[in-house]
Amino acid sequence: WWTAASLAAALLAGSDEHRRSLTQRAWLLMPAPVLLWLALVGQAVGFRASMLSAAAVWLAGWVLLRRVFTPSLTTALGLAAAWELVGVSLCLFAGLAPFPDRATQGPWLPKQVVFATMMAVAGAGALHLGAQQPQLRERLLGPLGVRTALWLSASALLLQAVVTLVPGLTTGAWALLQLAFVLGTAIVAGRTALAPSAPTNLRQWVRRWQWTLAMAAIPVSVLFVLRDLSPAVLLTCVQVVTFWSLGQVGVGVALLMSMAAATGLAFKLGVPARLVERLRLVLLPSQGRTSQQLQALWAVAGGGPFGRGVGRFFVVSEAVGARSARSAAAMSEQFRSAIPLAATDGIWALLTESVGVFGTLAVAMLVGLVSYWLWQEHRRALDPRRKAWFAAAFAAWSFSHVFTLGWCGGNWPVMGLAAPLLSAGAFNALLWTGVLGMSALLSQGPSIRLVESKPTRWRGTAAWLPPAFVVAVVIVVLSGLVRHGVLEREETLRTPFVYRPAEARCRRAVLLGQVVARNGEPSVNAEALPADREQRESTRRSLEAWTRRGAFRVAENGKVKVDGFAFVVPEQTGLGTVLRLAKGA
């Protein structure tokens, strides 16, 4: 909190002399929480050489930040808040150090140290290149930027094709596509704002808006091709905020309406399935709540106001049960984090379980400082192309964090997004190194109006509409975090998860006669199973598994009944049981 407040005070200071003094103090304070966190994690789960490597890499990047003070203090403060987030990420993965990544069977922390090194080197190289070649700033928002966006899109499609051909392989195609989309949106919105006059006929209208229509089709395509709501909503928000910031409020409203219509159509058709599940999560929380989201809420409630302590989150094993990370470190291969997708989508839940709601709000403040820096650069820029870039970067950064935090701490249907600079992954690091590096590069250029843009009657509205929209969403998200972590903590921990789809399938199986009573015990009736071989085997294995779990019982009249308690899973760490006993239930 002290570090975040110091960076905020320096960013909001009035005079340059006062700002420089506060910046120096905030910069000197930055290593304290990171080094203290690493020391406490080492005490909790045992010291490892990778923790020293993490500290060394982060300190090297911290020293490099000092070189940014001379060109621009505002840029230096924005990058300082971002680098502090990298330190928080390294500390979180230091706590996960004893527990390997189940996908690659490799440790978490060494990989993140390599990615942090890549970010520091690439960021320093970009700033040096921008200082040596000032003309590069304008070329990035011109033909060079268009070619870069096309190459990134082609690479993303190629990687996605490789994933399709090689089952089980995961790549960062989405990160490359997002970087290309942010760059493409900025270029298209900037060119639209530079249009000399309003179109007078259909041909002129098509020529002016053809690239905007093409960009608007991308989120809709993502919704139906990738079959997920989260990326489509994020890309739409980037477009809307970018056009709003340039005074094109009508375009933003049209983009929102088109996305809402596409979402409604997909929900009506039942395609994609994940979209239906996540919208039902909001419309019918008792029926649509997923196990992943409820486990994230359990972690938030388990952390409470001040957390369990760094490195002291809970881990689980199907064979042994739940225990603290410290006690399970000696048997790391048998355990995983109790939080689903703890290193990616659930990173905010892992953070809240460790440092509590109070500490999480401090990290959220660091995220807000980066957003504030990007929006200030948007307001300072006079060239519409630069304004469009900073607006697109602001929207992508803010909503990526807000959606992930909203899923971890509230009843949000949007998930599947990596938190910038916090979540694991090489492509996530590459994406935000590119976005923030280019933002720092453009922020150091002269703030001059390169081309006159046409004024619009919405220019005054555009100054406050995007940040007001983001702030309203942030307030809703943080209120959900406080509600589940503080105000309704006990109720959240006592909330069990119910496998309602499985319960419905079992009840349907009883009605179809697929489970019958034999010798007083429930048994799968092979004669009533589906005719298709694969479906038959899948149904048989599922029904046999639920039979072993006690989902079926034979009543006194000899009929098979479904036992609803077999589908109920309580909070895994046992804290909910303790609270239930304390309440006398």
Pairing of strands 336-337, 321-324: unpaired
Mean pLDDT computed over 20-30: 90
Q: Supply φ then ψ for residue 568, to 5 degrees.
A: -100, 130
pLDDT, one tens digit per residue, over 257-271 is: 887 787 777 766 665
Q: Which residue has the higher pLDDT, 285 or 540?
A: 540
Mean pLDDT check: name the lowest of 95-104, 386-395, 442-451, 537-546: 442-451
Flag the least confident range among 72-76, 193-197, 313-317, 515-519.
193-197
> Is residue 585 classed as helix, strand or coil in its secondary structure?
coil
pLDDT tens for each residue of 96-141: 877 776 655 667 788 889 888 988 888 888 777 777 777 776 777 7
Please report which helix (H) or strand (E) contains residue 337, including its range. strand 336-337
Residue 79's identity, in one-letter code, is L
Instruction: State mean pLDDT over 415-419.
Output: 77
Q: Is the pLDDT assigned to residue 438 strictly greater than 50? A: yes
Cα–Cα distance measured from residue 122 to residue 96, given in angstroms and rounded to the nearest whole number? 26
How confident is residue 67, by pLDDT bands cut at 50, 70 and 90? confident
pLDDT recorded at residue 501: 77
User: What pLDDT is recorded for position 358?
Assistant: 94
Mean pLDDT across 82-86? 94
Residue 556 has pLDDT above 70, yes or no: yes
Query: In 521-565, where do the E strands start and end?
Result: 521-524, 552-554, 560-562
- Quick one: average pLDDT of 447-459? 46
Model confidence pLDDT, tens digit, residues 483-525: 988 988 888 888 888 887 788 889 999 998 999 988 888 999 8
Find the mean pLDDT for residues 286-315. 81
pLDDT of residue 306: 92
Mean pLDDT of 32-52: 90
Nearest Cα neighbor of 571 from 491, 517, 502 is 491
pLDDT for residue 422: 92
> What does the alpha-carbon distance between residue 292 and residue 290 come to, in Å, rounded to a whole number?
5
CA distance 242 to 248: 9
Tell me if the bond preceding 272 is cis, omega within 30° of 0: yes
Enumerate the β-bridge partners of residue 322.
316
Confidence of residue 30 (pLDDT cuts 50, 70, 90): very high
- The pLDDT value recorded for residue 316 is 75
